[in-house]
């Protein structure tokens, strides 16, 4: 499940936009989503579903027509992720975002392998959050998102605290691009033009 926000200028990557400008931040959001869906969307080892926000943007032609879509629903990030875990078809589920240029297919595959024996798996982010969360979802669905301080360096630790006593594993630690410093660190990954989302 790829959580994706409609890349509308002024409504996406607002923290990054304050540092590098709205146009550049919107361009990054579009390019990052295109690159991610291009790398992962056709992989036969899993089904890729785009979880869209706002819900009304689910019908936008910007999303690849061949990929299934679901609305994220309402609430904060934790409420929306809990909803996606609850409504997905049975089996292990991994959720990622679109603004981590370093996400590679082998890390997602590793997360699914780990869920064969672990209750949850994370991809930690350098800013104290996480770019990936996966839950085995059996024998029951866990609820790891209560009282998490989102968009803070404590988000990962808070989520882990909600999973005390459960078996946890991690994949690679990657950079979440929310600041100009992080943007510069990954700028070589993108060209100057805005790339279209894959068909």
CATH 1.10.800.10, applies to 2-189:
no
Using one digit for the tens of pLDDT, what is the confidence trace for 4-42? 999 888 888 988 999 999 999 999 998 899 899 999 998
pLDDT the model gives residue 187: 66
- What residue spans define the domains of the chain? 2-189
The pTM assigned to this predicted structure is 0.91
**Pairing between strand 68-71 and 49-53?**
parallel
pLDDT the model gives residue 196: 41
Residue 199 has pLDDT above 50, yes or no: no
Residue 192 has pLDDT above 50, yes or no: no
pLDDT the model gives residue 183: 86
**Pairing between strand 120-124 and 168-170?**
parallel
- The token duo for 172 is 């690679």
């Amino acid at each position: 499940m790829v959580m994706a926000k409609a890349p509308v200028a002024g409504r996406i990557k607002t923290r990054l936009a304050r540092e590098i400008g709205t146009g550049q931040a919107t361009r990054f959001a579009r390019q990052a989503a295109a690159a991610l869906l291009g790398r992962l969307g056709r992989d036969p080892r899993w089904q890729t579903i785009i979880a869209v926000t706002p819900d009304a943007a689910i019908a936008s032609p910007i999303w690849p027509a061949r990929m299934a879509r679901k609305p994220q629903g309402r609430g904060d990030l934790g409420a929306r992720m809990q909803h996606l875990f609850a409504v997905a078809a049975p089996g292990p589920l991994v959720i990622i975002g679109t603004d981590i240029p370093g996400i590679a297919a082998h890390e997602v595959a590793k997360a699914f392998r780990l869920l064969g024996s672990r209750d949850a798996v994370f991809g930690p982010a350098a800013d104290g959050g996480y770019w990936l969360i996966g839950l085995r979802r059996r024998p029951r669905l866990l609820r790891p998102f209560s009282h998490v301080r989102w968009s803070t360096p404590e988000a990962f630790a808070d989520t882990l605290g909600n999973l005390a006593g459960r078996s946890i594993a991690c994949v690679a630690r990657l950079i979440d691009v929310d600041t100009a410093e992080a943007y510069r660190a990954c700028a070589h990954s993108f060209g100057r033009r805005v790339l279209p989302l894959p068909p």
